[in-house]
Chains A and B, each alone.
Chain A
Amino acid sequence: MSTIAAFIMATFTTPENIGVTPQSMLWLLPLVASISIVYKTTKLPKIRFTNFVKETVVLFGSIVIFMTITALVLVAFAWLVTE
């Protein structure tokens, strides 16, 4: 097996080192992008580049904003309960 093939295999057999930190929440962004792209692909009968990008960005933004608001409400609720 060549060195490159061995390296590629190794990257998929060893987990990355990700700590339980607030920054680890940023891993949701690529996932939201993927969900937005696939969902809009199934919804648009004809794909034109500008329209597709616009629709995807709007959906991506909506999901992120809604999740941020939900997180803030939960933080506020937790603060009220614990104070």
Chain B
Amino acid sequence: MAQRSRESHIAFLLVVGLLGWFVPGGGHLVINEKKHAIIIFVAIALTFAAGLYIGSIGVINPVGAKPWYVAQIMNSPAVAAIGRITASGNYPVFGRPNEIGQIYTSIAGLLNLLCIVNAVYWAHLRRTGDAGE
């Protein structure tokens, strides 16, 4: 019985983490933190969109800028779809727009990673009955 409860707890944490990755703020929405979820979604989506606006979708470059791409894909799996489009090299971007665009999109991804960890942590605390926030 305890084993089953533990398994369902781990499955719930996985669902929270995955939803947070699929849609920024999704993890917080699952644990009934609507205000947190809305603020996180708007802030991260705007930061990511600003990065794409400044540098174009060419800043997502899974071939020539892999370390940046690892941070960018933390935004959502949808980034991989953009990466497939830009991998052909048809959207070149250089100089300051490239730098600023990469920094914006990568920071947005790392912020989403922070939110995923935070949502999973809160979900764990609530399930184990430890309110310690």
Binding site for B on A (CB under 8 A): 11-20, 24, 27, 30-31, 34-35, 37-39, 41-42, 45, 47
User: Interface on chain B toward A: helix, strand, loop, or mixed SS?
Assistant: helix
**In the bound complex, do residue A42 and residue B107 qualify as a contact, i.e. CB atoms below 8 Å apart?**
no
- Which residues from B are CB-within-8-Å of A47? 35-36, 39
- Which residues from B are CB-within-8-Å of A30? 47, 50
Which range contains the number of B residues in contact with the other chain?
Answer: 20 to 34
**In the bound complex, do residue B53 and residue A12 qualify as a contact, i.e. CB atoms below 8 Å apart?**
yes
CA distance A72 to B133 in the complex (A): 38
- Residues of B69-99 contacting chain A, CB below 8 A: 91, 93, 95-98
CA distance A33 to B91 in the complex (A): 29
B58, B100, B133: which contacts A45 (Cβ < 8 A)?
Answer: B133
Interchain residue pairs A-B with the least CB separation, the first 10? A15-B97, A45-B133, A42-B118, A34-B47, A38-B111, A15-B56, A18-B96, A15-B93, A47-B35, A37-B43
